[in-house]
C-alpha cells in the first residue's frame, strides 16, 4: 500500500540507533505515524523538526502496519518558530490537541488551520486568538462544539455576553445577568461577525472558556492532564497582548472555520 500527501511534523521518537518514528498531520489521512530510516542523520534532523511542512510518501504491506515514511522538505519554518515563546509553546500545544483525535482520522480543516496558524505564530499579538479558535475547532471535531451564534434562552444574536457551562451555548447579557456568577464569560472577539482584536482580559476569558470544556469533556473523562505547553503558551500570549497596540492587526475568524 502507498499514498502521498503534504504533512506537518508534530514530533518524532527515537527508534534504534539511526531511525525515528515520525508523527505528522496530513490533510487527507489525519494524524499518522511512520518509520523514517536514517531519521537521526544530519540531513534529516533539520527536516524532522516540529512545525515543518513536508511532502510525505507512506508505504506498508498492510494498512494497519506502522509503515515507512519518505519525506521531502516543502517549508522549513522550525527555526522561525523558535524565535518567540508563543511559537515554541504553540507548536507543542497544538500537537497535543491533535493527539486527542483518533489516529488516521481525516480532519482536513484542522490541517488547513494548523498550517495557517504556524505561518502566523511569529506575531505574538495574534497567536492567542488563533490558538483559542483552534481549540474550539478541536472541541467541535471531538463532538463537544460550542454554540456561540445565538442566545440559548431568547434566540437573539446581539449582545451575547455569557456561555452556559451546562449546555455550551451562548446567553445574551439580559438573560444571563441574574446568573452571571454561574456563567462563563463570552469574549467579544469570539462572537459572530466580531471585527475586534482581543485584549488581555478577553483573551484570558477565552482561555478559561475553552479550558473549562476541554477539561470537562475530554481530559477528565480520559484521566489525563492538559498539556503543560498550553499553560506556557497562555502566559506568553497574554504577555504579548498586554504590550501590543490595540490597533495591531485583527485575526480573521475564518482561519479555523470548518470547511
Q: Which CATH number applies to 2-76: 3.40.1500.10, 2.40.50.140, 3.30.70.270, 1.10.287.3510?
A: 2.40.50.140
* 26 DSSP 8-state letter: E
What DSSP string describes 173-195?
A: HHHHGGGGGGSEE--GGGSTT--
33 pLDDT band (50/70/90 cuts)? Answer: very high
Q: From 215, 221, 211, 163, select the one nearest 190 (Cα to Cα).
A: 163
| All structural domains of the chain with their residue ranges | 2-76, 81-148+186-256
If we measure between CA atoms, which residue out of 141, 138, 105 comes closest to residue 29?
105
Residues 6+ apart with CB under 8 A from 29: 3, 5, 58, 104, 106
Mean pLDDT of the chain: 92
Between CA 85 and CA 23 the distance in angstroms is 22
Grid coordinates of 107: 480532519
Global pTM value: 0.91
Per-residue model confidence (pLDDT) at position 255: 52
Share of the chain above pLDDT 90, in %: 86
Which whole number is the average pLDDT over 219-237?
A: 96
pLDDT of residue 258: 47
pLDDT at 247 > cutoff 50? no
Averaged over 119-130, what is the pLDDT? 88
Query: Strand order of the sheet with strand 160-163?
Result: 170-172, 160-163, 184-185
Collect all residues with Cβ–Cβ distance below 8 Å to 99 and sequence separation of at least 6. 10, 31
pLDDT reported for residue 256 = 54
What mean pLDDT is predicted for residues 225-241? 94
User: Could you please report the per-residue DSSP string of 212-257?
Assistant: HHHIIIIIHHHT-PPPHHHHHHHHHHHHHHHHS-TTS----GGGG-
Q: Is pLDDT of 122 > 90?
A: no
- Tell me what percent of the residues of the chain surpass a pLDDT of 70: 94
Span 42-84, pLDDT tens digits: 999 999 999 999 999 999 999 999 999 999 999 999 999 999 9
Give the model's pLDDT for residue 249.
Answer: 47
Tell me the average pLDDT across 89-107. 97
The per-residue b/e assignment along 167-179, b for 16 or more CB within 10 angstroms, e otherwise, is ebbbbbeebbeee
pLDDT tens for each residue of 160-217: 999 999 999 999 999 999 999 999 999 999 998 777 888 999 999 999 999 999 999 9
Alpha helix (H) ranges present in the chain? Answer: 78-81, 85-98, 108-120, 124-141, 173-176, 200-214, 220-222, 228-243
Helix 108-120 to helix 124-141 angle (10° resolution) is: 170
Q: Residue 135 corresponds to which cell in the numbers above?
A: 481549540
Rounded to whole angstroms, how far apart are CA atoms 50 and 95? 9
| pLDDT range class, residue 123, cuts 50, 70, 90 | confident
Amino acid at each position: 500500500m502507498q499514498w502521498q500527501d503534504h504533512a506537518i511534523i508534530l514530533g518524532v521518537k527515537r527508534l534504534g540507533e539511526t531511525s525515528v518514528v515520525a508523527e505528522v498531520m496530513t490533510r487527507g489521512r489525519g494524524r499518522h505515524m511512520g518509520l523514517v530510516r536514517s531519521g537521526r542523520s544530519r540531513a534529516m534532523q533539520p527536516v524532522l523538526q516540529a512545525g515543518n511542512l513536508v511532502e510525505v510518501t507512506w508505504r506498508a504491506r498492510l494498512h494497519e502496519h506502522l509503515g515507512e515514511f519518505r519525506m521531502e522538505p516543502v517549508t522549513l519554518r522550525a527555526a522561525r518558530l523558535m524565535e518567540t515563546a508563543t511559537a515554541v509553546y504553540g507548536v507543542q500545544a497544538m500537537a497535543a490537541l491533535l493527539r486527542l483525535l483518533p489516529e488516521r482520522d481525516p480532519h482536513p480543516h484542522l490541517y488547513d488551520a494548523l498550517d495557517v496558524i504556524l505561518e502566523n505564530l511569529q506575531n505574538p499579538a495574534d497567536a492567542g486568538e488563533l490558538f483559542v479558535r483552534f481549540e474550539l475547532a478541536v472541541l467541535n471535531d471531538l463532538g463537544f462544539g460550542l454554540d456561540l451564534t445565538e442566545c440559548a434562552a431568547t434566540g437573539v444574536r446581539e449582545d451575547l455576553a455569557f456561555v452556559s457551562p451546562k449546555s455550551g451555548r451562548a446567553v445574551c447579557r439580559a438573560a444571563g445577568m441574574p446568573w452571571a456568577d454561574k456563567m462563563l464569560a463570552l469574549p467579544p472577539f469570539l462572537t459572530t461577525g466580531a471585527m475586534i482584536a482581543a485584549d488581555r482580559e478577553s483573551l484570558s476569558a477565552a482561555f478559561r472558556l475553552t479550558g473549562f470544556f476541554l477539561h470537562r469533556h475530554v481530559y477528565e473523562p480520559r484521566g489525563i492532564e492538559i498539556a503543560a505547553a498550553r499553560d506556557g503558551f497562555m502566559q506568553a500570549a497574554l504577555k504579548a497582548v498586554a504590550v501590543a497596540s490595540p490597533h495591531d492587526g485583527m485575526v480573521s475568524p475564518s482561519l479555523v472555520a470548518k470547511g
